Chains A and B, each alone.
Chain A
Amino acid sequence: MSGAALARPALKTTAARKSRLTDPAVGVWLATAATAVLGWLVVALDGGQLYTQANIVVILSNCVALGLVAVGQTAVILTGSLDLSVAYLIGLGTLVAAETMEGGSVLTAVLAVLALSAGVGLANGLIVTQLKVNAFIATLGTAFILRGYIEDNYTGPAGKVTASFQRLGYDRIGPLPVSVFLLVAVAVVLWLVIRHTRLGHHMYATGGDEHAARLSGVRTRRTVVIAHVLCSLCVGAAALFLASRLGSGAPWAGTEARYDLDSIAAVVLGGTVLAGGRGGVAGTLGGVLLLAILDSVFNQLSVDPFFKNVVRGVVIIAAVALYARRGSRRSA
């Protein structure tokens, strides 16, 4: 570590240029572009057409739910924490949205879901910081609690989403689904928070080295709690989108798609370090898009769905192995 630190000033300009190129966020977008081109080639050779209007819409709307969750997850992981409760929170969120809409207005439903999410995020953050339970166990515990509540009260879809709200899931502006704008808006807000506010800098500091951050005057606990609340709010947005897409509350909307582990995979694929302190929202979006394009290519080739999982696993491991190799030259 000290050797690299000493060598750094001398190589400053080239190193800066190099580090921009080897920045995982850039890398993942390059990889996504390569996948997009390769996928198009492969599908074309197979006699299909990957980028039809309809298919682009499918790819993009597939991005939205995972993207929202992964963007939130980025904030937590950057801060050195983790959230495994997102899948069940999505399920509960769709139920709350659909049931509130059945008896009330869309606005109250949205507010109810966001309040629920903020509450769960606050609970996660407080358990992690005040009870000092490892984030892995804390959020797993919250996940179990939510799951128990869902299983006890619901056996299947419940509630009904009003037609006006379903437009969020199905309307399009030109070729772009409306929901993509929701994802972009949330991502931009989080990007601004993470990159350009004091809170964001505190998040990087806390994730990088919590002890050092605290000694430097960062209120690390508060930062972790806020990160958890932000993450859960994003999950709430994902739940609202899924509710509008599915038309009713779906208890297993989050767990069937494995949003908990998939979102973490997407975040790490996007170059955010699992231990915290390095990474960002831009890379995560690249990771999500990469996974969605891969999915779509396999669908077009009608590859066995189980085989998709195998490829997914290989891609995720390979990508992170590549990042690790690059990182080693600079800082190991």
Chain B
Amino acid sequence: MSTGAAHEAAADTRTATATAAPRRRITALLGPGTPVYVLLVVLLAALALSDPSFYEPDRFLAFVKRAAPLVILAAGQYLVIVSGEFDLSVGAIVTAGVVVAAELYGSYPDAHWLVMTLVLLLAGAAVGLANGLITTGLRVPSFITTLGMMLILEGAVFYWTGGSPHGSMPEDFRALGRGSAFGWLPWAVLACLAAGVLAVALMRSDFGRTLIATGDSERTAALAGVRVHRVRVLAFVLSGVAAALAAVLVGGFSGVSAQAGRGYEFEAITAVVLGGVVLGGGRGSVVAAMAGAFSLQALFTLLNLRGVSGAMESTVQGVIVIAAVGLGAADWSRPRRRRTHSTRGKPS
């Protein structure tokens, strides 16, 4: 992988002199995620055509509100993926978060919503910490670590609740997922914005740079003085926190359910990959990853509007995901650039 990146870096400097400046600036601004912005614009335009009232403020905010959990999950998943790992446990964290919140409210009905949210976020961080420590310390591939964590979390939660979660969440807690600030701005949109700003700030900080360096080449980063283990553990912790935040939103939006987080892990990974982030780490931007999440949600909404039966939805989703990633992976610069070998790398 490192040689591939080096090749490409060399090729970049070579082409940099050849390409026109404006074009270079645009691609530099958008990064490798360019296709996802095109996809997002196309989908949003298609939404506008199918339903002219889609862009009325409250409809659009409702759309963003529905997309918020996935966007937050994608931001967290991005941190893990760009460092060269996977996090398959996020769906289980969402389910566990929702169920645990309901159970806790059953025991302490008077808990303040802020306290409850903090407890969930801390629990998410703890799960992420466990994921990170097992992956880096015991050198278990993160695919297996987080898969095991998924089994453990789901099993533990249902064991604890006896198979069917009960209890309910009070209104002030659920307001985060379905209420609005000032009467018009959904809290979920605010949370989504905050997560986005935080993620971008994080990726511009030293931590973000070391994270990408670690994902690109662990050995090089380590030799350059990056504490790769610590960086990766932190990425897992943040992913856990993001998943817990998503759990708060999902719980508020749709209530207690044993299926609350089902499939979210794959949707989050799909969103990140749609954003042009390379599985295996080292390339891609967090904004593009979140745009990938928006695209996925826009796609679901569009399919709904078009009256595509719920069943065919996943077929269309599958085709589009493969096509989008295939187009993104295609080497469009073949005539200009000497072909660098593809590293169909899979993080281990």
Contact = CB atoms under 8 A, between A and B. Distances in A.
Whether both chains belong to one complex is answered with: yes
A128 B322 CA distance: 10
A128 B314 contact: no
A145 B312 CA distance: 8
Contacts of A135: 344, 346
A312 B151 contact: yes
B147 A316 contact: yes
A276 B148 CA distance: 20
B322 A137 contact: yes
B330 A132 contact: yes
Interface stretch (B104-112, B156-164, B204-212): B156-164
A136 interface: yes
B61 interface: no
Interface in B136-178: 138-141, 143-145, 147-152, 154-159, 163
Contacts of A321: 134, 138-140
Contacts of A16: none
B329 interface: yes
A132 B138 CA distance: 31
A261 interface: yes
A50 to B, nearest CB: 22
B344 A149 contact: no
Given A134-B344, A137-B270, A316 B144 contact: yes
A254 B279 CA distance: 26
A156 interface: no
B304 interface: no
A145 to B, nearest CB: 4
A163 B344 CA distance: 46
Interface string B320-348: 01100110011000000000011110111
A34 interface: no
A132 B140 contact: no
Given A140-B270, A275-B348, A148 B318 contact: yes
Nearest to B150: A313
Given A135-B346, A265-B144, A308 B322 contact: no
A309 B163 CA distance: 13
B310 interface: yes
Contacts of B269: 136-137, 140
Interface in A212-231: 214
Contacts of B344: 80, 128, 132, 134-135, 210
Contact of B147 (A128, A148, A264): A264
A152 B273 contact: no
Contacts of B156: 306, 310
A172 interface: no
B163 A306 contact: yes
Q: B139, B155, B156: which has the most chain A beta carbons within 10 Å?
A: B155
B313 interface: yes
B318 A127 contact: no
A308 B144 contact: no
B346 A309 contact: no
Given A132-B329, A137-B321, A275-B141, A261 B147 contact: yes
A268 interface: yes
Nearest to A275: B348
Given A307-B159, A314-B148, A317-B134, A328 B139 contact: yes
Nearest to B342: A132
11 contacts: A141-B325, A142-B318, A147-B315, A211-B343, A261-B150, A273-B348, A274-B143, A316-B147, A321-B134, A321-B139, A324-B138
Which 9 pairs of residues, A with B, have the shortest CB-CB distance?
A148-B315, A309-B155, A144-B318, A275-B348, A151-B311, A313-B151, A131-B326, A313-B152, A152-B311
Interface of A: 80-82, 127-128, 131-138, 140-153, 210-211, 214, 261, 264-265, 268, 273-276, 304, 306-314, 316-317, 320-321, 324-325, 328
